[in-house]
Homo-oligomer: A and B are copies of this chain.
């Protein structure tokens, strides 16, 4: 399984002004593509802090790193500087990225979004990429997204505005991820157990995972309050769809057999 890590950047996330929904959205999409998210981290808006987390992700063995946020024109948009420091490459003006930024501000000027199309330093900054990086088209905003191949893994740097991030992800990142992840299939099935006690259900879940390697089971409350029955979410991923389907079915059957064999049961 390919290890993926997500780094969400922005002080507003750390001050509780903005809920980070990007990481959860990406986690769901990438899990469905067969990637395994092993860590999500929100560092401070600080070149050193960002570099530290990029390095940690690469050291953890992440083959795919996705960052969100910090690509814009303001002084606290430091993602590319953080990435550059982590992989010890210089930041240099990328001609294609500069062309993109120039064109975008010209369009925004014509639409009346900005007062002047001139490429002032704050705008040019968005075209300073780590050496060897490739700018990715941002169909919505002014900052290009960035793709980088390193010896340890690849890095996608995406904007933080959800609709920009999502549109770049679907259009440009997904095809590349499919290639990186291979023909990975992910299946998820939720079972209503009727069991209300997690301390009892936990033992059965552990037993099922031992007997059917390669599946993951997680119990969760179907609603609020301790009296409510628990659900178990069964997940499995791999290259062979038939095999995974068989595995999930076997897991579900075994779980239900074990639940039926419980000595005392109320409700259900």
- Which residues of A are in contact with B by a Cβ distance under 8 Å? 11-21, 23-31, 37-44, 49, 56, 72-76, 108, 111-116, 120, 122-123, 141-142, 161, 163, 196-203, 205-206, 216, 218-221, 224, 226-227, 233, 235, 264-266
Contacts and interface: CB of A to CB of B under 8 A. Distances in A.
Contact of A197 (B19, B21, B113, B206): B113
A198 B122 CA distance: 9
Given A11-B216, A15-B235, A28-B16, A202 B74 contact: yes
A219 B15 CA distance: 14
Given A19-B24, A122-B199, A39 B41 contact: yes
Contacts of A40: 13-14, 20, 41-42
A74 B216 CA distance: 13
B14 A202 contact: no
Given A206-B74, A264-B116, A16 B20 contact: no
Nearest to A264: B115
Tell me the dominant secondary structure on chain A's binding face: mixed
A20 B21 CA distance: 8
A123 B49 contact: no
A17 B233 CA distance: 9
Contacts of A43: 38-39
A74 B219 contact: yes
A156 to B, nearest CB: 17
B206 A75 contact: yes
Nearest to A19: B24
Given A202-B73, A227-B111, A11 B218 contact: yes
A264 B122 CA distance: 17
Contacts of A39: 14, 41-44, 49
A180 to B, nearest CB: 18
Nearest to A217: B76
Given A16-B31, A227-B112, A123 B199 contact: yes
Query: What 6 pairs across the A-B complex have the smallest Cβ distances?
Result: A16-B28, A74-B202, A16-B27, A73-B199, A40-B42, A122-B199
Contacts of A227: 111-113
Given A72-B198, A115-B266, 8 more contacts: A11-B218, A18-B24, A19-B21, A23-B42, A38-B43, A39-B44, A40-B42, A123-B199
